[in-house]
Structure 1
Amino acid sequence: MSRLEATVPEARMDQVSHLEEELGLSKSQIVDEALSLFFKTVMELKQGWRIAFLDTDTQRVREFTSPALTQVEWAARRERIVLSDADFDRTRKLLENPPGPTPALKEAVARRNKRKHRKQE
């Protein structure tokens, strides 16, 4: 058995205390479970999987992420992009002087704004 010392925000400690009472677990059991889940999640992310919650009634999926998991995912999918000199120059020019929005983009923004307006009513 090893000992672990950690500093967590007060709000997180309150959540741990709540879980202790609700589930009848010790802080050590909660931390062990959390680390186990985190380790499994990192291993799955490296294989291209994501963690999600599934509503068994509606089959809706709610994806879960955190800053640390996002970092792992980005690192696992890091790619090197090599451009020719001509493509690099073209890309730089587009970034420095981007073209205006296309008609399709303007239509998409208008539809989004309409939906957003309807939700607010």
Structure 2
Amino acid sequence: MSYNLRMDEKTHIRTVIAGNVKKYRKLRQLTQEALAEAADVSNTYIANIECGQTWISDKTLEKIATALHVDAYLLFIPEKDSTDSDVIRKRQKMIEFLKARENELNTYVSDFFSETFEKIFEE
């Protein structure tokens, strides 16, 4: 069975792959050059993939996934939209909460470790 993708679907898939290749490359602390060498492709090709400028063949996708130490299907999974205003609002509230209680948390953690070390050394 053949499935023909519309142009906007192809663009979306290419964008998702581009973002994931870049994300996993950075997670592995690889430069584009190092990834290109590990996947046996050119630096320019990796740059074009990460910019969403070129389509990637199944063989090259497998080589890149192997070089990134991930399963190839992971490169097709879109990131959850981090621009969701509710998520951003909750994240900001958490940061504000932690900042407001920073000294209290530092004191708690310090006391916890002091008590733990005292118990260890008493034994």
Do Structure 1 and Structure 2 share a fold, with TM-score over 0.5?
no
Q: Which has the higher strand share?
A: 1
Q: TM-score, normalised by structure 1?
A: 0.25
Q: TM-score, normalised by structure 2?
A: 0.25
Larger RCO (alpha carbons 8 Å, 6+ apart)? 2
Q: Which has the higher helix share?
A: 2
